[in-house]
Chains A and B, each alone.
Chain A
Amino acid sequence: MLLTRLITAVRPAHLLRILTIACAIAVTTAVQAAAPTTDELDSIFAARGIVYQQEDDGGSGGNPTIEEDATIYEGILLFQQRLNENNAASFKAVGDLVTAASYDDARDKAETVSGATGYNPGRFNLEGRWKYRSNSRTGFTLHTSYGQEYAYRSTGYGFGISQSLNEESTQLSADFQFYDDTVRMIRYDGSKETDEPRDTATGAFSLTQTLSPVSLMNLSWVYSRQRGMLATSFNSVLFDNGERGFEVLPDERVRNTVSVRYKHAIGEDSVQLGLSHYQDSWELDGQAFEARYFYRLNDGQLTLEPSYRFYTQTATEYFSEQFSAPQTYQTSDSDLGHFDGHSAGLVLSYRKAGWFTKAPSDYDIGFNMYRRSDDLNFYWLTLGWYTAL
């Protein structure tokens, strides 16, 4: 099943390209240098919460013909247990409470018009993972997940391979994820149609290389192919005559992202820079630039992390705020339109042992704000706790 899905998701030409890159990377195993790693098999417990608030400037932000206010509360728990010298198992649980104008409206109408009921009021996702690492620093992971929300169900599985080389100075990894999802066809007007599939296959390739005693870089390439019902079932578009229609999008989307990140120590502090380029088969291009500064105080017990991120994207060719007549493909989802985005944030981290566990724990609190040029703005507050067990 897994192999069949992999073969159908990755065409021979792409497979050849991937193998070529893998061979090229393998040739570099003679590369020297050194990189830091924490032991990824150690027993840990991590908890993180987020409060997300989205505002569409009184209805005029994003797409002015759609209400896009939203509030999301999300919590994540991660527990990892080392089984022996070479193996570890982990379990992750995610829960969301969602209040979104378009989402709530579709749900309320669906329950009234078509009697469609489902999981309320948000989303959950459960994931199990097994990790193996040999004494020669070859890693292998297997994972599976299940998630459900009101208009969506997801079953995921995947595997990854990794290799540390040259006394862990060079780290190579390849991860493959497959999602076999189901879209509940709840429409904006409350009508309900037969469920539709959405399949996603993703390959993520990463290389981390130490460049000097104070610098390292990471390069990643993410290739993803989605098939099936890729529109949001309850999204609508507005026509000039005042009537509304369904969002319709192609049943295939190929997405590619390349990112490079660079980290450099400046005394006790450090700076991280990143550039990324995205392109997909819907003619949507995106570029991102990110800068983070890690200001360490009291010998690293306290860390302040200010960050800035700029993102810009072109609109997909199927996007318009309003249409004169029905199109083969049509969307008014502002996330697929043109905009620039500026995001700034600050995270305060504190390391201390003895509050809840004897082992050192990391506590952090962060706030980010994101301003889009189409006046759809959002803010989020995060709280995190991470401890060795």
Chain B
Amino acid sequence: MNTKYLGCGILTLLVVSASACTPVRFNERERLSQPDMAFDSTPLKSEIEADVYSAREGASGVFTGGGGGGCGCY
């Protein structure tokens, strides 16, 4: 399957799924506000890890926003 269409499909699916979420009130967010509950909360940590993976794997942009370029390793 062409990944572009897969991407569109998953985005649409998530959008639909998200619209069905139960409301989370402001006073219910205490646990969510902890640093470990954020994706990529520590600056540079995910970035340097993604650099390692994308340099030694054929794929790029896995779990991150980078798509190649900027380095001879891609």
Residues on A lying within 8 angstroms of B by beta carbon are 14, 17, 20-21, 24-25, 27-28, 30-38, 44, 46, 48, 50, 52, 54, 74, 76, 78, 123, 125, 145, 147, 149, 151-152, 154, 156, 167, 169-170, 175, 177-179, 181, 183, 198-200, 202-214, 216-224, 226, 232, 255-261, 263, 265, 269-270, 272, 274, 276-280, 284, 286, 288, 290, 294, 296, 300, 303, 309, 311, 313, 316, 335-336, 341, 343, 347, 349, 362, 364, 368, 370, 372, 376, 378, 380, 382, 384, 386
- Contact residues in B for A179 (Cβ distance below 8 Å): 69-70
- Contact residues in B for A270 (Cβ distance below 8 Å): 34, 36-37
Contact of B67 among A17, A208, A255 (CB under 8 A): A255
**CA A208 – CA B35 in complex, angstroms?**
15
Are B14 and A213 in touch, CB under 8 angstroms?
Answer: no
CB distance from A356 to the nearest CB of B (A): 16
Nearest A residue to B21 via CB reads: A33
Q: Which B1-60 residues have a C-beta within 8 angstroms of A?
A: 2-4, 6-8, 10-12, 14-15, 18-19, 21-26, 28-29, 31-39, 41-45, 47-49, 51-53, 55-60
**CA A259 – CA B11 in complex, angstroms?**
10
Are A256 and B3 in touch, CB under 8 angstroms?
Answer: yes
Are B65 and A206 in touch, CB under 8 angstroms?
Answer: yes
Given A24-B11, A219-B11, A258-B6 contact (CB < 8 Å): yes
Q: Is the interface of A mostly helix, strand, loop or mixed?
A: strand
**CA A291 – CA B49 in complex, angstroms?**
14
Given A170-B18, A288-B62, A219-B10 contact (CB < 8 Å): yes
Given A31-B21, A214-B31, A277-B3, A257-B15 contact (CB < 8 Å): no
- Contact residues in B for A261 (Cβ distance below 8 Å): 39, 63
Given contacts A76-B47, A198-B69, A205-B11, 19 further A-B contacts (CB under 8 A): A14-B4, A27-B15, A31-B21, A34-B29, A36-B38, A74-B48, A200-B69, A209-B21, A216-B32, A219-B11, A220-B63, A221-B11, A223-B4, A265-B34, A276-B59, A278-B58, A313-B57, A313-B59, A384-B42
Given A175-B65, A210-B24, A286-B57 contact (CB < 8 Å): yes
**CA A243 – CA B45 in complex, angstroms?**
43
Contact of B41 among A38, A260, A309, A368 (CB under 8 A): A38
CB<8 Å pairs between A and B, sample of 28: A21-B11, A21-B12, A24-B11, A27-B15, A31-B18, A33-B22, A34-B32, A36-B38, A76-B48, A156-B70, A178-B69, A181-B70, A210-B21, A212-B21, A213-B32, A222-B61, A224-B69, A226-B68, A256-B2, A257-B59, A257-B61, A257-B62, A276-B63, A278-B60, A286-B58, A313-B59, A376-B56, A386-B42
Are A34 and B25 in touch, CB under 8 angstroms?
Answer: yes
CB distance from B43 to the nearest CB of A (A): 4
Are B32 and A335 in touch, CB under 8 angstroms?
Answer: no
Q: Is the interface of B mostly helix, strand, loop or mixed?
A: loop
Nearest B residue to A337 via CB reads: B58
- Contact residues in A for B7 (Cβ distance below 8 Å): 221, 223, 256, 258
**CA A154 – CA B62 in complex, angstroms?**
22
Taking residues whose C-beta sits less than 8 angstroms from the other chain, chain B's interface range is: 35 or more
Contact of B69 among A30, A154, A341 (CB under 8 A): A154
- Contact residues in B for A203 (Cβ distance below 8 Å): 67
Are A44 and B65 in touch, CB under 8 angstroms?
Answer: no
Task: Find the residue from A208, A210, A311, A384 having the highest chain B CB count within 10 A.
Answer: A210
**CA A20 – CA B65 in complex, angstroms?**
20
Given A32-B21, A213-B24, A316-B58, A384-B44 contact (CB < 8 Å): yes
- Contact residues in A for B72 (Cβ distance below 8 Å): 123, 149, 151-152, 183, 232
